[in-house]
């Protein structure tokens, strides 16, 4: 059974940094692209970033480009999201999710399953 578990969420001041981690098990981690999706309190879902199975290719939402970095350690089966220059609008539950394919694109792709999420709160 595929299992994803996020960690690292915390309360951080605006302008601060935080690194999220997602421990994966139950599948061949290096064969699956992975993504981070976030959900602000009471709001909808927003895709944040995705990375290919081998880690060579990554994609970002415009709102986090240049501030967030997605990476992975395929030897440890861990996905990361390094977040810098955090803003109040980054406050959200961050979900780690597995993608169908080894790449973030092509189009025949979806998010399944999802971890339970970790809360990031950006506030002074």
Partner 1 sequence: DIQMTQSPSSLSASVGDRVTITCRASQTINTYLNWYQQKPGTAPKLLIYDASSLKSGVPSRFSGSGSGTDFTLTISSLHPEDFASYYCQQSYDTPFTFGPGTTVDLK
**Window 48-87: contact mask with partner 1 (x via CB under 8 A):** --x--------xxxx-------------------------
End-to-end CA distance of the chain: 40
Q: Pick one of 46, 74, 77, 102: the residue that binds partner 1 (CB under 8 A).
A: 46
Compute CA distances 62 → 4, 57, 69, 96, whole Å: 25, 16, 12, 19
Binding of residue 94 to partner 1 (CB under 8 A): no
- CA atoms of 57 and 47, how far apart (whole Å): 16
Which residues of the chain form contacts with partner 1 (CB under 8 A)?
Answer: 35, 37, 44-47, 50, 59-62, 95, 100, 104-105, 107-117
């Amino acid at each position: 059974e595929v299992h994803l578990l996020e960690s690292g969420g915390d309360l951080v001041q605006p302008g601060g940094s935080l690194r999220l981690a997602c421990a994966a098990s139950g599948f061949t981690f290096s064969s699956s692209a992975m993504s981070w999706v976030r959900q602000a309190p009471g709001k909808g879902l927003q895709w944040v970033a995705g990375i290919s199975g081998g880690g060579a290719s990554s994609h970002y939402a415009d709102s986090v480009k240049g501030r967030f970095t997605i990476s992975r350690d395929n030897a440890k089966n861990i996905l990361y999201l390094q977040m810098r220059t955090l803003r109040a609008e980054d406050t959200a539950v961050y979900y780690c999710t597995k993608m169908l394919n080894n790449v973030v694109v092509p189009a025949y792709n979806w998010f399944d399953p999802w971890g339970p999420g970790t809360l990031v709160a950006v506030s002074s």
